[in-house]
Amino acid sequence: MEVDCEGCAGCCLDWRPLTADRDAGHERRGERDPLDDVYNLVPLTRDDVHAFLDAGLADAMRPRLWKPAARDDAVTIDGHEVAAIGDRPVFFVGLRKPPKPVGPFGVEETWLPTCAFLDPETLQCRVHESETYPDECADYPGHNLVLDAETECERVEDAFGGERLVEGTPPEDLDAPAFGPQAVGSKVFVYPDPADLDGVVGRLAADDLTTEDRARFVAVAAASAPGPAPSNRTAAKRPTNAPSPSRRGSAPRPRSGTDSRTRGVDADASLADGVEVARGAPETPGWTVGSDQ
Ligand code: SF4
C-alpha cells in the first residue's frame, strides 16, 4: 500500500464544505447513523484511550452514539433513540475536530473541522509514530482496501484530481478490523447507566458537549474490559488520571467551519504556531522527497 499524503490530509479533516458532495455520509460504515456530524471520526481502542490519558490529552477525545438499526436494542434519552445493549447505550470514543485554518488539495486556506492533532501548516500528524498514534490511523486505508470499500484517498482523487492511492494492496500484517461482539470493551463501549446521560445526549446531538460530558465517556471506556457486556449495570469508576482539559483540542464547532472564535478571523495556517505549538504541541517535519506521512 502506498499513498501520497502531501498536501492532502483528506482523512484527517472535514472537507465536505469544499465540495457539492458535502452531505455525503462517507466512512459511516454499517447501518447505524451517528447522532453527531463528525466526518471520518477515528474510533479509538481502549489502549489508545489509555495512551491519550497517560499523555495528558484527555480533552482531545469525544464520544459517538448511534441511532439504532431495526434489530438493535434501544434506549430513549433526551428524546433521542440511541443504540444500546439492553438499556445501556453503546458508544465509540474518537478524536475531536475543532476548526483550523487549513488549505488541503491546493485550495485557499479556510476554516475546516480538523483533527486535534493535525498541523495546519504542514498537514502532517503531530502524533505520527508516537505512543498516542491511533491504531485506526496506522491501519488506514488498509481496512477499506480489505473490505473493498472506497478510500478517502480515492474520494480526494475524484474531487480534486491527482493520484493519492498510489498502490492499493493492503499490508499483509494488517490487523483484522474489529467488528461485532468481539469489539465490545475494546473499541465499542457500553455506558453503564443511561440515567447518567440525561441532558448529555441532547447536548451531543446539538454539538454542544461540555468537557464534563466528554469525560464521562472517556472514563467509562478507560475502565472497560474486552468481552461480553455485563448483564447488570455497573458504575464505572473514573481513572485517577482521567479527563481534564489538555493543551490540545478545543470546543466543537458548527459544520460550516466557523464559530464564535473563528468568525471574522482570516484563515492563516501559521496561526497554529501561536495556539498549538505555543502550548506544547509537537512540530512536524514538513515534506521531503520520499516522505510517507
Ligand atoms: S491522529 Fe493524526 S493521522 Fe489520525 S486523524 Fe488525527 S491527524 Fe490524522
Residue-wise pLDDT tens digits, 34-69: 999 999 999 999 999 999 999 999 999 999 999 999
Q: Best mutation site among 40, 92, 95, 132 for ligand 1, i.e. most ligand atoms within 8 A of its Cβ?
A: 95
Angle between helices 46-54 and 211-222 in degrees, nearest 10: 120
Does the structure show a pLDDT above 80 at 115?
A: yes
% pLDDT > 90, the chain: 68
CA 84 – ligand 1 centroid, Å: 28
Q: State in Å: Cα 72 to ligand 1 middle.
A: 31
CA–CA–CA angle 125, 128, 131 (5° rounding): 135
C-beta 118 within 6 A of ligand 1 = yes
Indicate the range of 26-30, 34-38, 69-73 predicted with least confidence.
Answer: 26-30
pLDDT at 1: 87
Q: Is the CB of 140 under 6 A from ligand 1?
A: no
| Cβ–Cβ under 8 Å, residues 65 and 91 | yes
Task: Find the range with the poorest average confidence among 13-17, 133-137, 228-232, 265-269.
Answer: 228-232
Name which residue leads in pLDDT, 208 or 32.
Answer: 208
Phi, psi of 152 (to 5 degrees): -65, -35
The verdict on the CB of residue 115 being under 6 Å from ligand 1 is yes
290 pLDDT band, cuts 50/70/90, is low
* Ligand 1 atom nearest 40 alpha carbon: 5
Assess whether the C-beta atom of 127 lies below 6 angstroms from ligand 1: yes
Q: 282: which 3 cell numbers?
A: 509537537
- 188 in ligand 1 pocket by Cβ < 6 Å? no
Could you give the CA distance from residue 202 to residue 184 in angstroms, rounded to a whole number? 24
User: pTM score, two decimals?
Assistant: 0.88
Name which of 102-116, 124-138, 165-179, 261-275 the model is least confident about.
Answer: 165-179
The residue behind cell 483533527 is 115
Grid cell in block for residue 228: 461480553
**142 Cβ partners below 8 Å, 6+ apart?**
1, 170, 171, 174
Per-residue pLDDT, 25: 58
Contact call for residues 240 and 118 (beta carbons, < 8 A): no
* 44 CB near ligand 1 (under 6 Å): no
Rounded to the nearest integer, the mean pLDDT of the chain is 86
Omega within 30 of 0 (cis) for the link into 99: no
The set of residues, in sequence order, having a beta carbon less than 8 Å from that of 100 and lying 6+ positions away, is 13, 111, 112, 113, 114, 118, 120, 269, 272
- 20 phi and psi angles, rounded to 5 deg: -70, -10
Cell digits of residue 74: 434501544
- 147 pLDDT band, cuts 50/70/90, is confident
* Between 218 and 255, the higher pLDDT residue: 218
According to the model, what pLDDT value does residue 21 have? 64
> What's the average model confidence in pLDDT over 115-125?
97
Query: Is there an atom of ligand 1 within 6 Å of 229 CB?
Result: no
Beta-bridged to residue 153, according to DSSP, are none
CA dist., res. 213 & res. 242, Å (int): 13
For residue 265, the Cα-to-chain-centroid distance in whole angstroms is: 25
Which of 12, 39, 122, 248 to probe ligand 1 with, by most ligand atoms within 8 A of CB?
A: 12
Mean pLDDT within 2-27: 84
Of all residues in the chain, the percent with pLDDT exceeding 70 is 84
196 by DSSP, 3-state: which? helix
132 CA closest ligand 1 atom index = 1
Q: How far is the CA of 260 from the centre of ligand 1 (A)?
A: 25
Listed range (14-23, 45-54, 74-83, 253-262) with the worst mean pLDDT: 253-262
Q: Which residues contact 234 (CB under 8 A, 6 or more apart)?
A: 192
168-186: average pLDDT: 81
Over range 147-160, report the average pLDDT.
92
Please report the pLDDT score of residue 243 as a whole number. Answer: 46
